[in-house]
Structure 1
Amino acid sequence: MSFEPKQKIELDPPSNEAISLDYLSKCDGSHEGYPTYVAIKGTVFDVTGNKAYGPGGSYKVFAGKDASRALAQSSLKEEECRPEWQDLSDEYKKVLSDWFTFFSKRYNVKGKVEGATNQ
């Protein structure tokens, strides 16, 4: 997996704002007036504008939630889109770490999931 985007992306400084699970759940691309967010390891990334995370998009299952476990396992199953990942094998943890790096080079960090214990 290549971590560097093809073209340099100017990102905003990361925010440490606490984002509630209720608010995050509305950021799934289907609620008008809300951005589209994906959380990984408790960090919330703004993927608004990337159609893949919107309604009908191939990665819409990740939007509006902490999808750490699903990303670690390269799974598109709704039931795997949850924050718990610590019990996974080192191989999966490496994949998750790679996804975190990939997102951090492409999307603005909007905050942390309130009360997250999976960082």
Structure 2
Amino acid sequence: MSGFAEQPKKFEPKQPIQLAPPKDDLITLDYLAKCDGTNEGYPTLVAIKGTVFDVSGKDTYAPGKNYSVFAGKEPNRALASSSLKPEDCVPEYEDLPDEKKKVLDDWFTFFSKRYNIVGKLQADTGANL
């Protein structure tokens, strides 16, 4: 039996997850940076391709844990490259080869099936809001 039949379920969580309807609140980069798991009273957030996911309560994103490097950032390049290096946790990914862009798309799908979407990153206009 080929693996093609299993492909749609590839990113499905092992246990069903009830997600809230996605929000489209605008989230600034400054606010996102505060949501890195180290600031009491703030959620833990990770942005992928401009969409912000709430990963609060997931231990792997807590300070000192494997994926804490992604918290409070838009680590597109790191996710696309399967990297845990802080210097790779940047939003720019447009120059990557198509196969790495596909990996990033897969991560987006993975997150969207597990974590609530709490907003979109606000485009940096250079103005202080």
User: Normalising by structure 1, what TM-score?
Assistant: 0.95
1:47 match: 55
Amino acid at match of 2:11: F
Amino acid at match of 1:53: Y
User: Normalising by structure 2, what TM-score?
Assistant: 0.87
Task: State which structure, 1 or 2, has the greater radius of gyration over its C-alpha atoms.
Answer: 2
Task: Output the CA distance in 2 between the equivalents of 1:5 and 1:15.
Answer: 21
CA shift at 1:6, angstroms?
0.6
Say whether residues 1:71 and 2:70 are aligned partners: no
Q: CA-atom RMSD, angstroms?
A: 1.2
Identity level (%): 66
Say whether residues 1:26 and 2:34 are aligned partners: yes
Task: Output the CA distance in 1 between the equivalents of 2:50 and 2:75.
Answer: 9
Say whether residues 1:104 and 2:125 are aligned partners: no
2:13 match: 5
Unpaired stretches in structure 2, ≥5 consecutive residues: 1-6, 125-129
Task: Output the CA distance in 1 between the equivalents of 2:114 and 2:67.
Answer: 16
Q: In the comparison of the two structures, how many residue pairs are matched? A: 116
